[in-house]
Chains A and B, each alone.
Chain A
Amino acid sequence: MSDVKKFLYVNRRAPYGTIYALESLEVVLIGAAFEQDVALAFVDDGVFQLTKGQNTDGIGVKNFSPTFRALGDYDVQKLFVERESLEERGLSEDDLIEVVYEDEDDDWEEKPAIHVVSRAEISDVMAGADVVLSF
Protein backbone atom coordinates (compact mmCIF):
# COMPACT_ATOMS: atom_id res chain seq x y z
CA MET A 1 0.00 0.00 0.00
CA SER A 2 1.56 3.32 -1.04
CA ASP A 3 1.93 6.24 1.31
CA VAL A 4 -1.29 8.07 2.04
CA LYS A 5 -1.60 11.28 0.03
CA LYS A 6 -3.75 14.31 0.75
CA PHE A 7 -6.29 14.64 -2.05
CA LEU A 8 -8.18 17.93 -2.34
CA TYR A 9 -11.21 18.21 -4.60
CA VAL A 10 -11.87 21.86 -5.46
CA ASN A 11 -15.44 22.75 -6.43
CA ARG A 12 -16.01 26.25 -7.78
CA ARG A 13 -19.10 25.81 -9.94
CA ALA A 14 -22.83 25.78 -9.33
CA PRO A 15 -24.84 22.57 -9.69
CA TYR A 16 -27.07 21.59 -12.64
CA GLY A 17 -26.03 24.29 -15.15
CA THR A 18 -23.05 22.08 -15.89
CA ILE A 19 -22.14 18.50 -15.02
CA TYR A 20 -18.94 19.28 -13.16
CA ALA A 21 -20.50 19.18 -9.68
CA LEU A 22 -22.08 15.76 -10.23
CA GLU A 23 -19.11 14.17 -11.95
CA SER A 24 -16.65 15.49 -9.36
CA LEU A 25 -18.77 13.87 -6.66
CA GLU A 26 -18.49 10.58 -8.56
CA VAL A 27 -14.70 10.86 -8.36
CA VAL A 28 -14.87 11.43 -4.61
CA LEU A 29 -17.05 8.35 -4.13
CA ILE A 30 -14.78 6.09 -6.18
CA GLY A 31 -11.73 7.66 -4.57
CA ALA A 32 -13.00 6.74 -1.11
CA ALA A 33 -12.02 3.12 -1.78
CA PHE A 34 -8.37 4.10 -2.03
CA GLU A 35 -8.11 5.14 1.63
CA GLN A 36 -6.32 8.40 0.97
CA ASP A 37 -6.72 11.56 3.04
CA VAL A 38 -9.65 13.26 1.32
CA ALA A 39 -10.93 16.81 1.61
CA LEU A 40 -13.35 18.83 -0.50
CA ALA A 41 -13.27 22.61 -0.84
CA PHE A 42 -16.33 24.59 -1.93
CA VAL A 43 -15.33 28.03 -3.16
CA ASP A 44 -16.99 30.73 -5.28
CA ASP A 45 -20.15 29.30 -6.93
CA GLY A 46 -19.19 25.85 -5.61
CA VAL A 47 -20.94 26.73 -2.35
CA PHE A 48 -24.26 26.59 -4.21
CA GLN A 49 -23.81 22.80 -4.57
CA LEU A 50 -24.62 22.36 -0.88
CA THR A 51 -27.83 24.36 -0.56
CA LYS A 52 -30.84 22.73 1.12
CA GLY A 53 -34.13 22.09 -0.61
CA GLN A 54 -32.97 21.33 -4.11
CA ASN A 55 -35.98 20.15 -6.12
CA THR A 56 -35.14 19.21 -9.66
CA ASP A 57 -38.54 17.83 -10.73
CA GLY A 58 -39.20 20.81 -12.97
CA ILE A 59 -35.95 20.57 -14.92
CA GLY A 60 -35.98 16.81 -15.42
CA VAL A 61 -32.50 16.31 -14.03
CA LYS A 62 -31.58 13.97 -11.17
CA ASN A 63 -31.20 15.67 -7.81
CA PHE A 64 -27.81 14.55 -6.62
CA SER A 65 -27.59 16.61 -3.41
CA PRO A 66 -28.57 13.58 -1.28
CA THR A 67 -25.29 12.03 -2.40
CA PHE A 68 -23.38 14.63 -0.39
CA ARG A 69 -25.06 13.28 2.72
CA ALA A 70 -23.73 9.82 1.85
CA LEU A 71 -20.16 11.12 1.93
CA GLY A 72 -20.14 10.63 5.69
CA ASP A 73 -20.70 6.90 5.16
CA TYR A 74 -17.60 6.92 2.97
CA ASP A 75 -15.67 8.43 5.87
CA VAL A 76 -15.22 11.79 4.14
CA GLN A 77 -14.90 14.13 7.12
CA LYS A 78 -13.76 17.35 5.56
CA LEU A 79 -16.05 19.43 3.39
CA PHE A 80 -14.57 22.92 3.67
CA VAL A 81 -16.96 25.68 2.66
CA GLU A 82 -15.56 29.17 2.20
CA ARG A 83 -17.28 31.75 4.37
CA GLU A 84 -16.52 34.70 2.08
CA SER A 85 -18.02 32.83 -0.88
CA LEU A 86 -21.19 32.20 1.14
CA GLU A 87 -21.47 35.81 2.26
CA GLU A 88 -20.87 37.20 -1.25
CA ARG A 89 -23.85 35.09 -2.31
CA GLY A 90 -26.10 36.05 0.59
CA LEU A 91 -25.91 32.57 2.09
CA SER A 92 -25.24 31.39 5.60
CA GLU A 93 -24.47 28.00 7.09
CA ASP A 94 -28.20 27.58 7.77
CA ASP A 95 -28.81 27.42 4.03
CA LEU A 96 -26.61 24.37 3.67
CA ILE A 97 -27.47 20.69 3.94
CA GLU A 98 -26.15 18.69 6.85
CA VAL A 99 -23.46 16.13 6.27
CA VAL A 100 -22.29 14.04 9.20
CA TYR A 101 -19.82 11.25 9.76
CA GLU A 102 -19.27 8.86 12.65
CA ASP A 103 -15.98 9.42 14.43
CA GLU A 104 -14.48 5.99 15.07
CA ASP A 105 -11.96 7.55 17.45
CA ASP A 106 -14.69 9.08 19.58
CA ASP A 107 -17.13 6.27 20.28
CA TRP A 108 -18.69 6.64 16.80
CA GLU A 109 -20.13 10.00 17.76
CA GLU A 110 -21.84 11.82 14.91
CA LYS A 111 -19.97 14.94 13.87
CA PRO A 112 -20.47 17.54 11.17
CA ALA A 113 -18.38 17.00 8.06
CA ILE A 114 -19.11 20.49 6.73
CA HIS A 115 -16.74 23.14 8.08
CA VAL A 116 -17.38 26.75 7.16
CA VAL A 117 -13.97 28.38 7.18
CA SER A 118 -12.31 31.58 6.07
CA ARG A 119 -10.63 32.19 2.73
CA ALA A 120 -7.27 32.17 4.50
CA GLU A 121 -7.99 28.73 5.92
CA ILE A 122 -9.07 27.48 2.49
CA SER A 123 -5.74 28.77 1.12
CA ASP A 124 -3.96 26.79 3.79
CA VAL A 125 -5.89 23.65 2.93
CA MET A 126 -4.99 24.12 -0.74
CA ALA A 127 -1.34 24.70 0.11
CA GLY A 128 -1.24 21.54 2.22
CA ALA A 129 -2.64 19.16 -0.39
CA ASP A 130 -0.52 16.66 -2.29
CA VAL A 131 -2.92 16.27 -5.21
CA VAL A 132 -5.41 18.96 -6.21
CA LEU A 133 -8.25 17.97 -8.55
CA SER A 134 -10.25 20.89 -9.94
CA PHE A 135 -13.62 20.45 -11.54
Chain B
Amino acid sequence: MSTLHTVNKSPFATQALISCLNHAKSGDAVLMIEDGVYGGLGGTGMTEIVTELGKSVSLYVLAPDLAARGIDTNRLIDGIEGVDYAGFVDLVAKHDRTQSWL
Protein backbone atom coordinates (compact mmCIF):
# COMPACT_ATOMS: atom_id res chain seq x y z
CA MET B 1 0.00 0.00 0.00
CA SER B 2 1.49 3.33 -0.99
CA THR B 3 0.55 6.93 -1.64
CA LEU B 4 1.17 9.32 -4.49
CA HIS B 5 1.66 12.79 -3.03
CA THR B 6 1.33 15.85 -5.25
CA VAL B 7 2.88 19.21 -4.40
CA ASN B 8 2.00 22.24 -6.45
CA LYS B 9 3.81 25.06 -4.64
CA SER B 10 7.40 26.18 -4.75
CA PRO B 11 9.35 25.16 -1.60
CA PHE B 12 10.69 28.72 -1.48
CA ALA B 13 7.13 30.02 -1.12
CA THR B 14 5.51 27.59 1.32
CA GLN B 15 6.22 24.65 3.56
CA ALA B 16 4.06 22.26 1.53
CA LEU B 17 6.89 20.21 0.00
CA ILE B 18 8.77 19.88 3.29
CA SER B 19 5.61 18.96 5.17
CA CYS B 20 4.79 16.42 2.47
CA LEU B 21 8.24 14.83 2.67
CA ASN B 22 8.02 14.79 6.46
CA HIS B 23 4.82 12.77 6.27
CA ALA B 24 5.46 10.53 3.27
CA LYS B 25 6.28 6.93 3.99
CA SER B 26 8.93 4.71 2.49
CA GLY B 27 7.77 3.49 -0.92
CA ASP B 28 5.54 6.50 -1.58
CA ALA B 29 5.93 8.74 -4.62
CA VAL B 30 6.02 12.53 -4.63
CA LEU B 31 5.09 14.31 -7.85
CA MET B 32 5.86 18.01 -8.11
CA ILE B 33 3.48 19.82 -10.42
CA GLU B 34 2.78 23.46 -11.37
CA ASP B 35 5.01 25.75 -9.28
CA GLY B 36 5.99 22.70 -7.24
CA VAL B 37 8.51 21.69 -9.91
CA TYR B 38 10.99 24.22 -8.50
CA GLY B 39 11.37 21.79 -5.61
CA GLY B 40 13.20 19.44 -7.95
CA LEU B 41 16.02 21.89 -8.77
CA GLY B 42 19.58 21.02 -7.93
CA GLY B 43 21.98 23.62 -6.54
CA THR B 44 19.44 25.54 -4.50
CA GLY B 45 19.13 26.27 -0.81
CA MET B 46 16.47 23.55 -0.61
CA THR B 47 18.32 20.86 -2.55
CA GLU B 48 20.01 19.30 0.44
CA ILE B 49 16.91 18.96 2.58
CA VAL B 50 14.76 17.75 -0.32
CA THR B 51 17.38 15.15 -1.21
CA GLU B 52 17.69 14.08 2.43
CA LEU B 53 13.98 13.89 3.19
CA GLY B 54 13.26 12.37 -0.22
CA LYS B 55 15.58 9.41 0.25
CA SER B 56 12.94 6.78 0.88
CA VAL B 57 10.41 7.94 -1.71
CA SER B 58 10.40 8.27 -5.49
CA LEU B 59 10.55 11.89 -6.61
CA TYR B 60 9.02 13.07 -9.88
CA VAL B 61 8.35 16.36 -11.62
CA LEU B 62 5.66 16.99 -14.19
CA ALA B 63 7.82 17.65 -17.25
CA PRO B 64 5.41 19.98 -19.07
CA ASP B 65 5.36 22.25 -16.00
CA LEU B 66 9.16 22.25 -15.96
CA ALA B 67 9.40 23.14 -19.63
CA ALA B 68 6.79 25.88 -19.22
CA ARG B 69 9.03 27.48 -16.61
CA GLY B 70 12.10 27.31 -18.82
CA ILE B 71 13.93 24.75 -16.72
CA ASP B 72 15.99 22.08 -18.41
CA THR B 73 15.74 18.55 -17.00
CA ASN B 74 19.53 18.53 -16.54
CA ARG B 75 19.06 21.04 -13.70
CA LEU B 76 17.04 18.58 -11.67
CA ILE B 77 18.35 16.80 -8.59
CA ASP B 78 19.97 13.50 -9.62
CA GLY B 79 17.45 10.74 -9.76
CA ILE B 80 14.36 12.89 -10.12
CA GLU B 81 12.34 11.68 -13.08
CA GLY B 82 10.25 13.85 -15.35
CA VAL B 83 6.86 12.46 -16.35
CA ASP B 84 4.19 13.76 -18.67
CA TYR B 85 0.43 13.82 -17.96
CA ALA B 86 0.14 10.19 -19.09
CA GLY B 87 2.84 9.37 -16.55
CA PHE B 88 0.91 11.36 -13.92
CA VAL B 89 -2.14 9.22 -14.65
CA ASP B 90 -0.03 6.05 -14.36
CA LEU B 91 1.26 7.17 -10.97
CA VAL B 92 -2.28 7.81 -9.74
CA ALA B 93 -3.33 4.35 -10.84
CA LYS B 94 -0.22 2.65 -9.46
CA HIS B 95 -0.43 4.01 -5.91
CA ASP B 96 -3.39 3.24 -3.67
CA ARG B 97 -4.37 6.83 -2.97
CA THR B 98 -3.42 10.32 -4.06
CA GLN B 99 -2.87 13.05 -1.49
CA SER B 100 -2.51 16.66 -2.57
CA TRP B 101 -0.40 19.05 -0.48
CA LEU B 102 -1.90 22.41 -1.31
Contact = CB atoms under 8 A, between A and B. Distances in A.
A and B touch in the complex (CB under 8 A): yes
A126 B22 contact: no
Nearest to A122: B23
Give the bracket for the number of chain A residues in contact with chain B.
Answer: 10 to 19
Contacts of A122: 23
A134 B23 CA distance: 14
A122 B25 CA distance: 11
B98 interface: yes
B97 A131 contact: yes
A129 B23 CA distance: 14
- The B interface, classified by DSSP as helix, strand, loop or mixed, is mixed
Interface in A99-135: 119, 122-123, 126-127, 129-132, 134-135
Given A119-B23, A122-B23, A130 B99 contact: no
A42 B3 CA distance: 19
Nearest to B3: A127
A134 B25 contact: no
A123 B23 contact: yes
Given A119-B23, A127-B1, A134 B100 contact: yes
A40 interface: no
A132 B23 CA distance: 14
Contact of B102 (A12, A123, A127, A130): A12
Interface of B: 1, 3, 15-16, 19, 22-25, 97-102
Interface of A: 10, 12, 43-44, 119, 122-123, 126-127, 129-132, 134-135
